[in-house]
Structure 1
Amino acid sequence: MPKKSNHIPINTMVDMFGAGIAIGRASITELQTFEVAEQSHRDDYHLFFVLEKGNLSFEIDFQKYNAKSFSVIYIHPNQVHRLGPFENVTASFWAINNENLNPEYLKLLEDITPAKPLTLNEETFSIISEAVTLCIKLSERKNEKLHQSLLKDSCNTLVALVASQYLELSKSMDALSRFEIISKAFKTLLESNFISSKKPTEYAQTLNVSTAYLNECVKNTTGHSVSYHIQQRIILEAKRLLYHSGKSVKEIATELGYDEYNYFSRLFTKVTGMSALTFRNKNHD
């Protein structure tokens, strides 16, 4: 087995596409794999697929999925993922970095992360597919004086169309209870602060509620305590680093904000039922 890097590989927008927005459509008839995609990695951009024909297998953060025709797949920059081999597939895709993404849509995408593949109904699929076709045509009109603006606006329209499909599965903010609003705000904070803030009291203070009330909101909404969610988020990041990087367990503990290596080791064992080294050995590629 080749030695792993000390960092999870990151595919950058510049290296992959040479620009902040990219869009295309491809038909693959013979069995193929793409080395850059089949190896576990992160992207520094938002990636969308619309599967028009065939099946596509992939893995996101240790969860395996198999998408079928008329499915849309969204992968957030934080998610570690890889594609499996595929054949007889027609799919369109678009990629966009934060700089070109409408700030309102960025917030929506943050709220639906992690997102599972969605199967679209025929009408919605047709609208998105037509929008992709138009966006591809606009991307090819490089002599247009407003080419970049046209490409940016059309790609953001696609993002909005997909985000709206995910939003249909969740309640609007107007329909959320007080418990759900607080729980949603906690999850957003957790994603950005799980390394620096590991105590429920820290999140409660930021949200201007008592620790007991925060715990009541989160447990009522999700069935689990605030501490549970904090630990699960930390352990997910630990699993990513154990599986996809060559860093030692002690280095990972330090990166995740634990000065006491033994405490981190006990926490990992408590949450997963196995030691960090056992997890790494069990899940070697």
Structure 2
Amino acid sequence: MVPYTKPAHRRDDHYLFIFQKKGNSKIVVDFSEIGLSECSILSILPGQIHYGVAACGDTEAWLITIDVNFVDEHYRKIFDYHYFQSKAIVLQDLESNSLNQCLELIANVDQNHDELRFMPQVMHALIGACVGIFASAYQQIEMEEETTLRTQVLTREFKRLLLLNFKTFKGPSDYAGSLNISPAYLNEAVKLTTGFTVGFWIQQVIIMEAKRLLYATDNTVKQIAYLLGFNDHAYFTRYFSNAQGQSPSSFRAEYRK
């Protein structure tokens, strides 16, 4: 594999969809390395830290960046489901061919827009179809894991609320109140489904966002603490250090080398 030089402070406010047609590559997403082998896809959400690590010389891939406003809300929920564990998906031949044809059509319309004179809605529809193919592949995983058990439905709702409210909701009781259940029952449901407590997941999301801000911005630790809803930056430093095993400043120095 050919190594890449890591770009500094990479964090975008749009979706990045990767369709690898062939080859092997490695990408870091939120400080975890993900391998793509042969024909596969990977979706990177707005705000996630990402950079390439290495790729084989024969690797071919499409990289598609799409503004949040062009991604249907239903598709966003599917991608958000995988927020806690980014993963690449290997495509079957029929899926791969369909996605490749869709992307080639988008490229053709874009390159020849002056001659074609299509209305903007045509390109929007093509982009929607492309994103829909990505979403369909991820939804297939979701459907395989789907269940109607009350505990798993509650866990899914808790995680949805967590992504929306982690800067203001800091304890299990905040989420339990929004779901009209007791904190004890919510904790029991989440632990039964995931193996971890509500407090653990709250901490995971807060720490991940802190790590992103430390890596991708020049904000001070005090500013980052306030952005994450901590009024006491000293407490935030202890909170981060206990979870990460190093101080915010040490983390920034290590990953920004």
TM over 0.5: yes
Task: Report 1:69-108 matches (<5 A).
Answer: 69-84=38-53, 86=55, 87-108=57-78
- Paired-residue identity, %: 30
Match of 2:120 among 143, 148, 169: 148
Match of 1:110 among 61, 65, 80: 80
Matched letter for residue 214 of structure 1: L
1:51-87 CA distances to partner (integer Å, 9 max, x unpaired)?
1122222211101123222011211112111123544
Q: Specify every segment of 5 or more residues in structure 1 that has no aligned partner in the other structure, as ranges.
A: 1-30
What CA distance in whole angstroms lies between the structure 1 residues aligned with 2:3 and 2:251? Answer: 30
* Aligned-residue CA RMSD (Å): 2.4
Do residues 123 (structure 1) and 94 (structure 2) align?
A: yes
- 8 Å CA contact retained: 1:72, 1:118: yes
SS at match of 1:171: helix
- 8 Å CA contact retained: 1:46, 1:75: yes
- 8 Å CA contact retained: 2:70, 2:124: yes
Distance 1:209-1:146 versus aligned 2 partners, 3 A rule: farther
Q: Specify every segment of 5 or more residues in structure 2 that has no aligned partner in the other structure, as ranges.
A: none
- 8 Å CA contact retained: 1:235, 1:271: yes
Task: Tell which deviates more after alignment, 126-135 or 72-81.
Answer: 126-135
SS at match of 1:48: strand
Match of 1:230 among 185, 192, 202: 202
2:170 matched residue in structure 1: 198
2:109 matched residue in structure 1: 138
1:153-201 CA distances to partner (integer Å, 9 max, x unpaired)?
1221111111111121123797331111111111111111111110111
Match of 2:156 among 184, 191, 205: 184
What CA distance in whole angstroms lies between the structure 1 residues aligned with 2:69 and 2:214? Answer: 31
- 8 Å CA contact retained: 1:173, 1:181: no
- 1:258 CA drift (Å): 1.0
SS at match of 1:66: strand
- 8 Å CA contact retained: 1:40, 1:82: no
SS at match of 2:134: helix
1:19 matched residue in structure 2: none
What CA distance in whole angstroms lies between the structure 2 residues aligned with 1:138 and 1:257? Answer: 45
- 1:41 CA drift (Å): 1.5
Matched letter for residue 83 of structure 1: G
1:184-236 CA distances to partner (integer Å, 9 max, x unpaired)?
11111111111111011111111111111111111111111111111111111
Distance 1:145-1:284 versus aligned 2 partners, 3 A rule: closer
Matched letter for residue 230 of structure 2: Y
Matched letter for residue 51 of structure 1: Q
Matched letter for residue 70 of structure 2: N
Matched letter for residue 98 of structure 2: I
What CA distance in whole angstroms lies between the structure 2 residues aligned with 1:120 and 1:236? Answer: 29
- 8 Å CA contact retained: 1:94, 1:155: no
What TM-score does the superposition give when structure 1 sets the normalisation length?
Answer: 0.80
Task: Report 1:134-283 matches (<5 A).
Answer: 134-142=105-113, 143-171=115-143, 175-283=147-255
SS at match of 1:88: coil
Q: Which has the higher helix share?
A: 2
1:14 matched residue in structure 2: none
What CA distance in whole angstroms lies between the structure 2 residues aligned with 1:88 and 1:187? Answer: 39
Distance 1:102-1:243 versus aligned 2 partners, 3 A rule: closer
What CA distance in whole angstroms lies between the structure 2 residues aligned with 1:214 and 1:107? Answer: 21
- 8 Å CA contact retained: 2:240, 2:248: yes
Matched letter for residue 103 of structure 2: V
